[in-house]
Amino acid sequence: MALDKLVDSSQLDADLTSVANAIRTKGGTSAQLAFPAGFVNAVENLQSGYTDTQWLTKTVDGPVYYTGTSIPTLNGFQKVTEFSAPNWVNGFGTNYLFMNCYLIKKISLPKVTRFAGTDNFKNCRKLSTLVLPSLGKGTSASYAMQAELAGFSGCSILQAIDVYTVYSIKSKAFQNCPVFGTLIIRNRSGHSGHPIASLAAIDAFSGTPFASGGAGGTLYVPSADISAYQAATNWSTILGYENNQILPIEGSIYETQWADGTPIA
């Protein structure tokens, strides 16, 4: 039996219009929605969490899905649990971006090629893994020069970082990250002055398993670069500690997973 035979047709039209308006408001559109296919497609395309800059005016408790291309700081957003920015590319010169986001567990920045700044990840106490699959990719050497790792102090459960490449690792970058034991650098920096990642100082790994007397950490790099890392300033010291090792990506579990093809539990 037709639906309009079971209920008052005028009320049904009003109800469907109310539902359509709610969907349009949530999706940020004024498009007409044909029932039922248009309703179904529109709902399927809704993103969870807050979109664009809406979250800036709220006390966010949960995930943030940001569709913009430039990002203001999240410093102090203590209840954000996830952050995804699929369109963001340039993170060079950002400061305190995720600082004191105590509950953030997942950060997804799939297109970011440049990243550098002060204390961007400081005190992200629930972040266990950071994958930046495009970091360092670019059309010129200057892009690669703007790919840095720094500011992870206080990331108390951070275990692994996986990047396409990195130009430099700054002093005290991972200071007091007590379980940080896996660093994956998949490609060369793309700059003739630093064909491998430069390590500014051995204190980048103070308070981590990589430190002198620590439980040990593992650096994964392309097999062709292993000897260069073993001989490089500061890397030779870190890799000389008895519990640390440097291994080729090729043949490892990371060759086909993460960065960011995901699994790996």
DSSP letters of 233-252?
TTHHHHHHSTT-EEEESTTS
Q: What is the CATH number of the domain that holds 234?
A: 3.80.10
In a domain, 183, yes or no: yes
Q: How confident is the model at residue 221 (pLDDT cuts 50, 70, 90)?
A: very high
Whether 48 is covered by a domain: the verdict is no
Tell me if 45 sits within 8 A of 24, measured CB to CB. Answer: no
pLDDT score, position 24: 67
Q: In what order do the strands lie in the sheet with 62-65?
A: 62-65, 80-84, 106-108
Note the pLDDT of residue 10: 65
pLDDT exceeds 60 at position 123: yes
Asked if residue 48 has pLDDT above 60, the reply is no
Closest CA to 175 of 215, 132, 207: 207
What pLDDT score was predicted for residue 62? 82
Confidence of residue 229 (pLDDT cuts 50, 70, 90): very high
pLDDT value of residue 259: 58
Who has greater pLDDT, 94 or 134?
134
Examine residue 31 and state whether it is found in any structural domain, yes or no.
no
DSSP state of 221: E
Percent of the chain with pLDDT over 90: 48
Could you tell me if residue 61 is inside a domain?
no
**Residue 221, beta-bridge partner list:** 248
Orientation angle between helical segments 37-44 and 9-27, nearest 10 degrees: 30
Quickly state the pLDDT bin for 19 (edges 50, 70, 90). confident
**Average pLDDT of the residues of the chain:** 83
What is the gyration radius of the CA atoms in the chain, in angstroms?
A: 23
pLDDT of residue 75: 76
What's the rounded mean pLDDT across residues 27-55?
Answer: 64
The boundaries of the domain holding residue 116 are 91-248
The pLDDT confidence band at residue 6, using thresholds 50, 70 and 90, is very low
Please check whether residue 168 lies inside any domain of the structure. Answer: yes
Tally of domains within the chain: 1
Counting Cα atoms < 13 Å in the Cβ hemisphere of 73 gives 15
More confident residue, 142 or 133: 133
Answer yes or no: is 217 within a domain: yes
Asked whether residue 21 is domain-assigned, the answer is: no
Residue 95 lies in a domain: yes
Looking at residue 224, its pLDDT comes to 94
How many whole angstroms separate alpha carbon 64 and alpha carbon 178?
Answer: 28
pLDDT at 47 over 60: no
User: What pLDDT does 63 receive?
Assistant: 87
In whole angstroms, give the CA distance from residue 98 to residue 60: 14
Query: Comparing C-alpha atoms, which of 168, 55, 75 is closest to residue 116?
Result: 168
What integer pLDDT is reported at residue 12 of this predicted model?
Answer: 62
Q: Is 161 helix (H, G, I), strand (E, B) or coil?
A: strand
